[in-house]
């Protein structure tokens, strides 16, 4: 807000009337300030400042009306131009124009508690202001957003179209969490109708199941028959969906096939997570490049969930390949893309899925992976194998999320990169990569967010919050660049985050939510009795 838009030059008599008081009092920290010389200097300085202020007010009052652009691109006149010109409004606008919150903290608190800010906070806490898809036409650039150039120039700072794409794919994972159930024996293809997709331009075509190769003893069912979900080896893990809306296909520049996978939710899946020894991926034909550079290996538990078939369902690998092949054949001749997205365990399985579908057909469409909070999956040879198959991976990583640093040696990717740049150490690490059973390596491009950058989350948020999917989407929504604060115009609703991570939200906002009388539990409850909630709930 501009000062000239609020105060005419005639109001300067207010400052001139106070000029004598400036000479009357000295600083208690500087007794010499009471001298005549000092008073003369202060008087001259005051005159100079008042003269400059008068010139500023006169020049600003002659400027034309200024317009503001809101986040939707609509143009509105500034609030100060719509004032009635009353003395009360001019005085209020003067205080706002002087921006006293930078000088005195109490004014900053008053500004945060102003009705304007409370209305914005109430909207964030009570309304689900999710934008399902970018409104901009991706057109001929869709391959860049899909990773054909490894997202060069789109991450730091974060491109607005890419931001919205990431949030949309994260919401596909949330739909998988909400529809999770653990009894595939009662499931059929009609269960795909239960998946409430956030983007109505997609339709679900296939349910996916993961099966553990380990199991609990049968006596567990006899002792606790109500806890059968603990011994159930096969569980619903996600789904395949395809865009079937013509206008959306035109906007995106292609028909998109999405494979969404949830994170760990069952007892046996947790057991598989701890089987962290690297094992070789069984392949029918071993290529010459793999035999010379080393064998591609992945975590034992992840591979087990991916390739093990259940009693009533095929393996995840078989299901996803068959469905992708069917869709490619159905839409033959169209421009297609395959997007695999997952969180936590789903992020790990997403890499195995992408590796498998990248060679399922002779002319496979471009394959990209968008993972949230994913652990390490395989060794460096596995990463090289994905690169050789042109699989593009964008990993969204929270700096405080410990899950992204396991399994394997607890070493940051930055340190590993620096060590490999030196000749002697690099040679030692290459030897360890081929011999050690825990020599893991991350894959792809990284987008690193930080819980401490959020103005709503506590800087010491616990492990569950730092790994929570909704917290990830909140951080992506507010991310601008690596050296920038949380963006002020972030619009994603805080209601779900506050409902699930209340203890990790700053007290200022939880108290305001109570003051606004918001019933967050009622607003964000899911009426699906046959489905278990997200494990992060």
Which residues are known to be catalytic?
344, 401, 467
> Concatenated DSSP letters for 329-379?
HHTTTS-EEEEEEEETHHHHHHHHHHHHHTTSSTTPPPEEEEEES----B-
Are the CB atoms for 173 and 341 separated by under 8 Å? yes
Read off the DSSP letter of residue 171: H
Q: Among 459, 467, 441, which Cα is nearest to 504's?
A: 459
CA distance 326 to 331: 9
Q: How far is CA 330 from CA 255, 260, 325, 339, in A?
A: 12, 20, 9, 17
The enclosing H or E element of 200 equals none
Question: ∠ at Cα 350 (348, 354), nearest 5°?
Answer: 130
CA distance 351 to 345: 10
CA distance 273 to 267: 10
User: At CB < 8 A and 24+ separation, what contacts does 93-96 make?
Assistant: 93/1, 93/5, 93/6, 93/7, 94/3, 94/6, 94/7, 96/1, 96/6
Half-sphere exposure of 229 (CA within 13 A, CB side): 13
Place of tokens 């069917």: 326
CA distance 119 to 113: 10
Are the CB atoms for 181 and 530 separated by under 8 Å? yes
CA distance 537 to 534: 5
């Amino acid at each position: 807000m501009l000062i000239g838009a609020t105060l005419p030059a005639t109001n300067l008599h207010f400052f001139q009337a106070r000029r004598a008081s400036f000479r009357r009092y000295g600083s208690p920290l500087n007794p010499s300030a009471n001298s005549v010389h000092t008073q003369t200097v202060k008087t001259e300085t005051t005159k100079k400042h008042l003269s400059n202020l008068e010139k500023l007010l006169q020049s600003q009052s002659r400027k034309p009306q200024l317009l503001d652009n809101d986040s939707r691109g609509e143009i509105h006149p500034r609030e100060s131009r719509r004032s009635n010109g009353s003395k009360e409004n001019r005085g209020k606008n003067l205080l706002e124009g002087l921006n006293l919150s930078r000088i005195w903290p109490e004014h900053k608190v008053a500004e945060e508690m102003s009705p304007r800010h409370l209305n914005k906070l109430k909207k964030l806490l009570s309304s689900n202001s999710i934008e399902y898809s970018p409104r901009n036409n991706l057109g001929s650039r869709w391959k860049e957003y899909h990773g054909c150039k490894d997202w060069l120039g789109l991450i730091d700072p974060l491109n607005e179209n890419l931001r919205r794409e990431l949030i949309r794919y994260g919401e596909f994972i949330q739909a998988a969490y909400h529809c999770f159930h653990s009894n595939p024996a009662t499931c059929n293809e009609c269960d795909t109708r239960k998946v409430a997709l956030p983007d109505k331009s997609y339709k679900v075509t296939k349910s996916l199941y993961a099966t553990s190769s380990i199991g609990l003893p049968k006596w567990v069912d006899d002792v606790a028959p109500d806890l059968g979900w603990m011994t159930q080896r096969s569980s619903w893990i996600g789904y395949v969906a395809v865009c079937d809306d013509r206008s959306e296909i035109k906007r995106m520049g292609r028909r998109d096939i999405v494979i969404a996978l949830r994170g760990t939710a069952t007892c046996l899946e947790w057991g598989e997570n701890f089987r962290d020894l690297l094992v070789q991926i069984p392949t029918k034909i071993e290529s010459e490049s793999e035999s010379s550079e080393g064998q591609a290996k992945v975590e034992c538990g992840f591979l087990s969930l991916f390739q093990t078939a259940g009693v009533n369902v095929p393996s995840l690998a078989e299901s996803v390949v068959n469905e992708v092949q069917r869709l490619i054949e159905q839409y033959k001749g169209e421009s297609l893309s395959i997007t695999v997205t997952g969180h936590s365990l789903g992020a790990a399985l997403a890499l195995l899925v992408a590796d498998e579908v990248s060679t399922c057909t002779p002319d496979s469409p471009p394959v990209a992976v968008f993972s949230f909070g994913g652990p390490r999956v395989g060794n460096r040879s596995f990463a090289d194998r994905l690169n050789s198959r042109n699989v593009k991976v964008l990993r969204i990583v929270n700096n405080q999320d410990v899950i992204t640093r396991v399994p394997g040696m607890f070493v940051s990717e930055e340190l590993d990169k620096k060590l490999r740049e030196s000749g002697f150490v690099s040679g030692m690490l290459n030897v360890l990569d081929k011999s050690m059973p825990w020599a893991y390596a991350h894959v792809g491009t990284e987008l690193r967010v930080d819980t401490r950058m959020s103005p709503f989350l506590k800087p010491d948020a616990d492990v569950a919050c730092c790994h929570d999917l909704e917290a990830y989407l909140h951080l992506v929504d507010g991310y601008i660049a690596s050296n920038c604060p949380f963006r002020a115009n972030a619009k994603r609703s805080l209601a779900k985050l506050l409902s699930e991570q209340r203890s990790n939200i700053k007290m200022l906002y939880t108290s305001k939510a109570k003051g606004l009388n918001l019933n967050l539990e009622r607003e964000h409850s899911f009426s699906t009795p046959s489905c278990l909630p997200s494990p992060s709930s």
